[in-house]
Structure 1
Amino acid sequence: MSHNSRLSYTRGRHHRTTSKRKRLSQNFLVDAGAAHLIVRTAGVTADDLVLEIGPGNGMLTRRLLDAAGRIRAYEKDPRYATLLRRRYANDQRIQLFHRDFRDVRAPRAPFAVVANVPFAITTDIVRWCLAARHLTSATLLTQAEFARKHSGDYGWWTELTVSHWPTVSVELGARIGKDSFHPVPRVDAAILRVCARPDPLLPHELIGDYRRVVELGFSGVGGSLAASLRRQFPTHAVRRACAVAEIPLDRPVGLVSPDHWTTLYRALRT
């Protein structure tokens, strides 16, 4: 093969690899210190079952094996799925699956999720975790903006966070600089922690109704939470509930904290 042919082949291979990474939204963690920090934040122990999403070249996987008892890793890229299967072929603590995690059925026993989440599917992954009945915690490395938005760090809260607040807490963890990844993304990342509450803030039988009220409140009618709620609740009931929860009648819904929401809901039911 001539020099020019080899150069064209190398460039073509690099282009195909780069294009595939973009399609799969792959930004691999290359900072061992950041990987250790994520695993420490997860707080998993030798008794825990951990699901890892998109392990890639295994930067997090290696650290998880030092902490967790059992690992199920799900990798969509066939190249890395094969690499990890070969690397851990004789390690009974870990199972490798070549699958899209979004199609995975949640375990029927308690488990945790730890992952450097592909940025393009972060919302899908968070929704999967929130829907999993036996999830104990999810420690997710996401875009910093996403983590800040869903943890309320901007001073406002999303419908997704508020809807699940009675059953989970959502917290912002450490920031991870973009130089900790390859290829280097355009933005920094941050750890988002989702933890199941041992004692939910509302009885299980009320969760569905609570979420319907939250959906109503976020419908955006009238410019305030109170105005949206008046579409289905009497004005006097909304006024009283807002007073109990210390929510001004003109307060936009995004500025109402999840803790105020649970108080509001209880007041609306009485």
Structure 2
Amino acid sequence: MSRHRRSSRPAHSRADARKHFSQNFLADAAAARTIVRASGITAGDLVLEIGPGGGMLTGQLLGVARRVLAYEIDPRYAAALRARYAGDDRIRCHHVDFRDVRAPAEPFAVVANIPFAASTDILRWCLTARELTSATLLTQQEFARKYSGDYQRWPKLTVTHWPTVRMSLGPRIGRDRFRPVPRVDAAVLHLRRRERPLLPDRDLARYRQLVDIGFLGVGGSLAASLATQLPSRRVRAAFARAAIATNAPVGSVAPDNWIALYRALS
């Protein structure tokens, strides 16, 4: 959960670096093993790790994965990891902000203790990476619950990508497993690219347009928002076929119901 912000200002001491990058590193080997097991990675996988810090998770990944690409924004930790694994062809450590990284052109997984402050940016990066097969993101527990739908409400980002990527809640990791100790607990947010998308490729753009309209927030309900650009009678009939209440707020409509609604409107 090493949190950081973009800046060109150097950090001169460890305390300065922690403040500058808002670092909270995983400090429990058992928790690291739990995360790697939950990821489902195998010996044939290429794995990207974001913010490895002191390398607690890195060592566990190297015990399983074929190859690890680690991206660390703090130059001191990047240099230390390079020195530790010098001569080991299974790992490359890059001193860079992960948000500036170009995704590999081959299938890969992400397993990482990600920065709280950059969680949304990293989630979006993963969702748009064409060759990503899965992502296991340790982040703020509230964030993981939100995007997995654990609150029985679903944000636009989850609904938009649901036809191609499934998001689910993984293990909780207590805040006492980090150093320094953060204010909140963490949890794993799983992303898994579907082998068979719920909609054909030719429908994805139109589905996402429907989601954009639905999340306009007009009229207090999903049906009201859709009715601003579609005939009301058609909207009511589609809601009936998809078994969605016409007064349902947009956030209460589960992703699978969105798929049914799109099909009904089509």
Q: Same fold (TM over 0.5)?
A: yes
CA distance in 1, matches of 2:18, 2:153: 33
SS of the residue corresponding to residue 96 of structure 1 reads strand
Tell me the SS of whatever aligns to 2:104.
coil
- Rounded Cα–Cα distance in structure 2 between residues aligned with 1:56 and 1:239: 53
Distance change (3 Å), C-alpha of 1:30 and 1:159: same
Secondary structure in structure 1 of the residue aligned to 2:68? strand
Q: 3-state DSSP class of the match of 1:202? A: coil
Measure, in 1, the Cα distance between the counterparts of 2:103 and 2:12.
36
**Structure 2 residue aligned with 1:173:** 170
TM-score, length-scaled by structure 2: 0.94
Percent of pairs with identical residues: 63
* CA distance, structure 1, for counterparts of residue 232 and residue 85 of structure 2: 62
Residue 218 (structure 2) aligns with = 221
- Distance in 2 of aligned mates of 1:21 and 1:114: 22
Q: Alignment RMSD, CA only?
A: 1.2
1:247 corresponding residue in structure 2: 244
Ranges in structure 1 where 5+ consecutive residues have no aligned partner: 1-13
Q: 1:102 is matched with which residue?
A: 99
AA aligned opposite 2:232: T
Pairing 1:186–2:183 present: yes
Question: Residue 41 of structure 1 aligns to which amino acid in structure 2?
Answer: A
In structure 1, the residue corresponding to 2:230 is in which secondary structure? coil
> 1:112 matched to which residue of 2?
109
For the pair shown, the structure with the greater C-alpha radius of gyration is 1
Structure 2: runs of 5+ lacking an equivalent? 1-10
Structure 1 position 210 matched with structure 2 position 183:
no
Is 2:29 the partner of 1:37? Answer: no
Q: 1:23, CA displacement in angstroms?
A: 2.8
Displacement over 2 Å in runs of 4+? 14-20
Which residue of structure 2 aligns with residue 4 of structure 1?
none
AA aligned opposite 1:242? F
Counterpart amino acid of 2:259? T
Number of residue-to-residue matches in the alignment? 256
User: Does residue 156 in structure 1 map to residue 141 in structure 2?
Assistant: no
Q: Which has the larger share of helix?
A: 1
| Amino acid in structure 2 at the alignment position of 1:250 | N
CA distance in 1: counterparts of 2:130 and 2:121, whole angstroms: 16
Paired with 1:18 and 1:157, the residues of 2 have a C-alpha distance of 38
Equivalent of 1:130, from 127, 132, 153? 127
TM-superposed CA distance for 1:15, in Å, is: 9.3
Q: CA deviation at 1:76?
A: 0.5
The 10-residue stretch of structure 1 (21-30 or 182-191) with the greater mean CA deviation from structure 2: 21-30
Question: How big is the shift at 1:18?
Answer: 2.8
**Which residue number in structure 2 is paired with residue 145 of structure 1?**
142
